[in-house]
Structure 1
């Protein structure tokens, strides 16, 4: 359960930039008559939707992935923007209260029941509140009619059956105040200062979902009940059900449970709040001693309010906007590859703001602490460069290829999309009227319309985006001695200078058509073994390397891969390790086969391929993902990372500059500082311990030595084991493996990693670390030490961690009201040596540290002295079985299983006994393991404010 200060609209735009192509805002004037300006965007025919007589809207879809599960949502168009002055924070508080007693589920019964059927609180069951909405998330096992019925009863109770007793309201105050406490810090303090300028004249600036501490402590019970009565009503609600249940059954359940909810006779009008326009440019320059990062942002808010896409013409306009963002962000990405990059990363988009009715064109960058003004200038110049010269045909064609490739991937996997991903589109449709014609229609529309879009259409957007009015500039960053703060006068000077500056046009260099310039001499497959139980095949290549693959139909357009060879940095001398540890991450930044990162990105336009080499402590690795049609490109990149990694001092300097900018102030964050200092305390005696990678340490990184060591680690492919899982064409896989992997050098070195003599600190210790000004503390309790690895004990330790998490939530959150969240985790590792570890952690107020620490240890003591209850064990067993059924249908799970089984020298076929092993767990055995590992010394780390 949480509160979100942003609307779905803003979040989705940011996610769209990073991960996909979606619907952008729609204020571009049409430059073509090829498409109807009145024809409506169709609604996905696969989705059943309707409105009950009381005004409640519903969405239903039968979806078989995952099997025997249905995702339920209750979406309410009511958030913090609707709060009266005596209700600040109560939209979010109401969300909490729906888990604390309803007509059919008294205090704690709801969470207790859901845990009993395998639904975890937080991980599965959840909710969030934002400015304009509250959304409840409930996944339910669907093969049992009783469980399905209970799921809909829970949803109905949330809608209109919350009890809201005085006692439970008071009990929940502590939990919500702890959530409020968690949100305090540098970012929150700076946001409170710049929001009045970003949201000038808007109610949104005064209605952050978390509310105020004063009101959360003192609000009257009736204020909360009034919010529930006014806004939790059918005409503002939607019920959504997507999963492995037939549509008729789901529709009947919705009508049965929600059809009789009465609308109030005189419903309170649901107001909409705007973001007023302003002629002047507002500048906010905020700093904080605990700020970890520096950022610059410039917003050009639209003059007109945004309207949802309704017509084909508007939808086409959204594609035009997507092309603009794609091309500009490609240019910004290129700049980060410079030897002296102007920022760590930067991006631009036109889309939602915090205010539902207002869109804006925004450019954002993360910078080094003294580089804000230069980063701001660079963002403005790149927008101005487009304004003066436009984009060019080469980058335009590449952008179209990339967009279409991503759309094609979504289209090919349309029948393999998990229900929890499908349903998000329905939520956005209800809240913001985002179109949902279905991916098949969208892909066809993109295919038809992309060729008709002219470069001039895209170039024309910049004049609509960039204006002198409705402009806001926001700078945030650290406050420290010796750092000169940017002034508002400097900002306005840059704005004026760039507006009047004549810029050179962007230079779009031509690139080669293929990464491979000389085809390698193919090797052969020397052995071929199958495992019918696991559905895998293992090839032995002529150079000694092995390749294991599993053909699946979990996704139509996905292939994942991983590979390892023993050794890693454990084979380096201590001196060489310390000299290279901070350089290894930058090796791949130089590119391959003479092509730099920018050239590689251009060459791979229209392809979905990712390959990443790395050197770990005990192994060298290379991993990635692709689609069936791009599989050969992945193999080519793997081959070149082994044989033709570039050496480029400028690329490495670019990496160093970005890392130093990113890491430079992280230690000012109290939580980061605490983690680093606890690491020093427990691991600092290790001769190889290097601590936090400060800018000074980054400057000492030896690139030449790191590159030499990389070549040594990757010069024997015969030591590697490769793994591929997904929709694989076996004939092509064998062909590509022979050509690109078997041709790699193989030396039969059969190296093994070296085990260090060092072991982490053990015994009874308490370490108190003070940092920060906010009244926030954290507690970590660690039981660990040497042991002989035992798979059954490892599973028992994991289970004890799950059980203790349940008890910590019950005691520290529900009974004490002292934490927002708490958790524990246990395991026994096999490599590089046998070691058990059991960790407990939670944040809390400084005044509650001792009390809650004792309460947590008391729960551990109960596990040791009494063992867990059968009820709690059964809850964990149910969640294990449910999660495992879903895991078995995931490529990522199988890839991890196959690789880790070999890496740790375990039998992968044990996965077939998972449910049997789950059912064999007993409370008696778990108590034995608890006595063995949780009955001795432990280390306590406490973070307190200064």
Structure 2
């Protein structure tokens, strides 16, 4: 069950907004009458003709779409237009509690029967079966097979039970209190404490300031049963519900299921009005400055809330205006990104947009930055200045044209893949259409409308937006960060003085420098393909190039507009001396910030406008690698950038300094977080004896990073392309991949040598050990149980140990969560590595209350010992097998799966053809296989890591 939005997640959610259109949250401001349009501006936005929308006589809304990806699967959603905002005072947290109860006893699925049944058909609890509760809605998610009538019927029965058949027995309610309280415990911490203080200013005068979905500890512990039943009775009713069904099955069948299961549900005779809650305006500027000793990050945000309440697009003119807003967001964020990549970056990350807040009814223009602990005022000043710069001078024509290219490129990619989009990725807009009446004309209409209207949009239309956004009223400034003696706390007076200073500042216009149009200026003569082989079983082709490199590709039709790429050769930093490794380990990730072929990172971004392509090189522990992706249209640029990262990586001290400054700002106070601190101390305990152990990247270590040496080593590692293996999967033009391989890869430098990696003599800690770390004030602990050690790699054992992790996860959820009520989430996972040496690892981890650490640790170990003694049950083994087979069925139609498979076959020297035997491998997995690996690997002691609060 998905946790109600965590405090940190909700903060980011507020700032990024709900994606409503082309990656942007778009909301309406006053429309300009001077726009030139080529349509009837009052005409309504059409509804996607590929989606069937209907309303039953009882008011329930439904959406249905036939969608063939993935095959033989349907995604079901029950959406309830009710969340924590509707709770009475005695119901604080009960909207979310009700979500939990729907998994704990309904008319047709008694407690635990629901999860047990779904696991038996391959649906995993948490990973597939899930739900979330927010302020204004509760959404249940259920993916089920669509090729089995009985399973389809059961799926709709589950959805119906959630809608009106929850049992809500006193016993079930009391047993679930512990689980929800553990979820409440997880949300506690610095972010939550600071938010409780600034939220009343951010959502001033509204109920949103006092109705966080998780509720209060006191109410969760003590609420009356009738309070929960009353919430369910009042708000779970057909006129506030939508059922969504999208998948590989005909529309008529799905519509019949919806009508038969939901048509007979009745609304209350005297239904409570579903009130809409608003956020009052305020003339004054609110400033909230919150600090906490355990805060990990420093952040700045300024919100200019709209005077009017938000309203979704209805007409073509309004939709066109949303395109104008998208262009504005693209351009302001391009400028902020340039500043982020400057020599002395004012922030680690910054962005601005106009869109949603926590309240569906209030939008705002919002600017956000993540900063160094002592850089908040500087970051706030830059955000305000950039807004004022746009207000004073507007954007330039070059920026405007690049933004239009980027916008249409993203839409074109979505349009081309519209028939290859997974069902679970199209549901969001249906949910928002029901909840807030967001338009859903369909990607084909959107793409064509953008193509038609983008040429008619004038730069002035975009430039005038900010005058609507920025004002002195309805303004809120929020600063959050660490409370440390060596960091001077920002005062409210400093913030208010800064607001006035920027308003009267002499701000210069933005300078947009022209960039080249060609990535490569001097290209060596092309090489050649000296050998070509096919693997007809897998549908792959391998090209051997004249410099010794190999290119393996698989042409697929899984996506129309996607090509994925990966490459590696052995060696990596394992070939460095210990001293060189330690000097370069914190510098390596900053090397590419310099750009390539004389073009800076900012220049490259501008040059790539309208192109969807990315390439990422890296020096790893035992390999040097380069990976990326592109559309078929931008395939050549993928090869060009790859060629340049081998041959023409820039060396730029200023760019590297910028990277180091951002890293220092980002991690500067991270160890104040009890959770990060525990991870650091545990890692040091297990790996600290390694002469190459580098530990957490402190500011001091970052200052000592040797850029010159890291650059030199990078050039060495990428000097020999001849022992690289390149892999491409996607909608590939076979003539082009051969042409580009000769033109950009076969002519890369080669020494003719084939390197391998160097094994270290160090091995991590294994056997029986305990590490207890005490850090933090909140009453929250975490437990980590790790079995690990050296072994001889065996493929069958690797699969069995991984399956054991899935089986044990089922048992731990049953025991620690459902029976003990002591955890919110728990998991186990295992694997055996072959490279660089045989090593097994099996871990169990969970958070809990400090008072329950010993009890739950013993309970987890007891579950391990049961499997060691008796093996798993046939029922649990069957559940895991069914889930594995269903997942593999979907994997086989995913480009990323095939890319990973082809690469790993060479990386681990395995036979890729064995993928064709997977079903047989799963079928043959036995109880004794699981028991044998449990006996072999889980009886040699374990490392116990415990994080407790300070006493």
Per-residue CA distance 1:454-477 (angstroms, 9 max, x = gap)? 000000001000000000000000
Aligned in 2, Cα 1:18/1:187: closer, same or farther, shift over 3 Å?
farther
- The 1:112/1:329 distance shift into structure 2, 3 A limit, reads same
Q: Secondary structure at the match of 2:352?
A: strand
1:748 and 2:752 correspond: yes
SS at match of 2:260: helix
Q: Is 2:8 the counterpart of 1:4?
A: no
Counterparts of residues 471-870 of structure 1 (less than 5 Å): 471-870=475-874
Partner of 2:29: 27
Q: Tell me the distance in 2 between the aligned counterparts of 1:268 and 1:361.
A: 34
Instruction: Judge conservation of contact 1:5–1:209 (CA < 8 Å) in 2.
Output: no
Check the 8 A contact 2:781/2:946 in 1, yes or no.
yes
Alignment check: 8 A CA contact 1:9 1:352 kept: no
CA shift at 1:538, angstroms? 0.3
User: 1:160-216 deviations in whole A, cap 9, x for unaligned?
Assistant: 000000000000000000000000000000000000000010000000000000000
Aligned residue number for residue 144 of structure 2: 140
Shift of 1:428: 1.1
Q: Deviations over 1:687-725 (max 9, x none)?
A: 110111111100000000000000000000001000000
Q: Name the residue aligned to 1:289.
A: 293
Q: 1:825 touches 1:838 (CA, 8 Å); kept in 2? A: yes
Q: Which residue of 1 aligns with 2:909?
A: 905
CA distance in structure 1 between the aligned counterparts of 2:28 and 2:199, rounded to whole angstroms: 25
Aligned length, in residue pairs = 946
How far did 1:4 drift? 2.6
Provide the secondary structure at the position in 2 that maps to 1:547.
strand
- The one of 322, 329, 336 equivalent to 2:333 is 329
Partner of 1:319: 323
> Residues 629-656 of structure 1: CA distance to partner in whole angstroms, max 9, x if unpaired?
0000110000000000000000000000
CA contact 1:57–1:238 (8 Å) conserved in 2: yes
Structure 1's 28 and 639: CA in aligned 2 closer, same or farther, altered over 3 A? farther
Q: What aligned pairs does 1:423-502 form with structure 2 within 5 A after superposition?
A: 423-502=427-506
Deviations 1:110-162 (A, max 9, x none): 00000000000000000000000000000001110000000000000000000
Partner SS state of residue 782, structure 1: strand
Q: Which runs of 5+ in 2 are unaligned?
A: none
- Residue number in structure 2 paired with 1:933: 937
Deviation at 1:603, TM superposition (A): 0.5
Distance 1:145 1:908 in 2: 35
Residue deviations 1:42-86 (CA, integer Å, cap 9, x gap):
000000010000000000000000000000000000000000000
Question: What SS does structure 1 have at the residue aligned with 2:788?
Answer: strand
| Structure 1 stretches of at least 4 aligned residues deviating more than 6 Å after TM superposition | 5-10, 15-19
What is the rounded CA distance, in whole Å, between the counterparts of 2:811 and 2:50 in structure 1? 43
What's the CA shift string for 1:705-763, capped at 9, x where partnerless? 00000000000000100000000000011000100000101112201000000011112
- How far does residue 37 in structure 1 lie from its aligned partner after superposition? 2.8
Match of 2:792, SS state, is: coil
SS in 2 for 1:3: coil
SS of the residue corresponding to residue 342 of structure 2 reads: coil
Partners of 1:340 and 1:792 in 2: CA distance: 53
Q: In the alignment, does 2:191 pair up with 1:187?
A: yes
2:888 is matched with which residue: 880, 884, 890?
Answer: 884
The CA deviation at 1:36 is 2.5
Kindly tell me: are residues 571 and 630 of structure 1, through their superposed partners in 2, closer, same or farther at Cα, counting changes over 3 Å? Answer: same
After superposing the two structures, state which structure 1 stretch, 7-16 or 380-389, moved more: 7-16
What residue number does 1:341 align with?
345
**1:277 aligns to what?**
281
Asked whether the equivalents of residues 23 and 315 of structure 1 are also in contact (C-alpha less than 8 Å), the reply is no
Q: Aligned partners of 1:809 and 1:763: how far apart in 2?
A: 26
Out of 123, 128, 131, the residue aligned to residue 132 of structure 2 is 128
Distance 1:60 1:19 in 2: 21
Task: Work out whether 1:219 is the aligned partner of 2:220.
Answer: no
Which residue number corresponds to residue 72 of structure 1?
76
Conserved? CA contact 1:286–1:476, under 8 Å: yes
Provide the rounded CA distance (Å) in 1 between the counterparts of 2:428 and 2:700: 44
8 Å contact from structure 1 (residues 9, 356) kept in 2: no
Provide the C-alpha distance between the structure 1 equivalents of 2:11 and 2:349, rounded to a whole number of angstroms: 22
CA distance in 2, matches of 1:788, 1:69: 39
Distance 2:709 2:943 in 1: 38
Structure 2 CA distance for aligned equivalents of residues 351 and 229 of structure 1: 33
User: Contact 2:527 / 2:547 at 8 angstroms: preserved in 1?
Assistant: yes
1:537 is displaced (CA, Å) by: 0.3
- Write the mapping of 1:357-376 to structure 2, written as runs, cut at 5 A: 357-376=361-380
The alignment's TM-score, normalised by the length of structure 1, stands at 0.99
Per the TM alignment, residue 12 of structure 1 is displaced from its structure 2 partner at its CA by 9.1
How big is the shift at 1:519?
A: 2.6
Q: 3-state DSSP class of the match of 1:274?
A: coil
Alpha-carbon distance in structure 2 between the residues aligned to 1:23 and 1:482: 39
Superposition deviation, residue 14 in structure 1: 2.1
Q: Aligned residue for 1:263?
A: 267
Note if contact 2:568-2:724 (Cα within 8 Å) is conserved in structure 1: yes
The match for 1:177 is 181
When structure 1 is superposed on structure 2, of 96-105 and 498-507 the one drifting more is 498-507
SS in 1 for 2:242: strand
- Per-residue deviation at 1:3? 1.1
Task: Name the CA shift for 1:491/1:17 in 2 (closer, same or farther; >3 Å).
Answer: farther
Deviation at 1:10, TM superposition (A): 8.8
**Greater Cα shift, 579-588 or 662-671:** 662-671
How far off is 1:21 after superposition? 3.3
CA positional deviation for 1:20: 4.3
| Deviation (angstroms), 1:892 | 0.4
Task: Tell whether the 8 Å contact from 1:70 to 1:142 is kept in structure 2 after alignment.
Answer: yes
Listed one character per residue, the Cα deviations across residues 455-502 of structure 1 (whole Å, up to 9, x for unaligned) are 000000010000000000000000111110000000011100101112
1: distance between equivalents of 2:12 and 2:608? 29
- C-alpha distance in 1, partners of 2:14/2:355? 9
Could you tell me which runs of 5 or more consecutive residues in structure 1 were left unpaired when the two chains were aligned. none
Residue pair 2:93, 2:215 contacting (<8 A) in 1 also = yes
- Pick from 240, 249, 253: which aligns with 1:249? 253
Q: Secondary structure at the match of 1:667?
A: helix
Once residues 626 and 938 of structure 2 are traced to their aligned partners in structure 1, the CA distance between those partners, rounded to angstroms, is 37
Change (3 A) 1:215 1:483: same
Q: Is the 8 A contact 1:344 1:658 kept in 2?
A: yes
SS of 2:517's equivalent?
coil
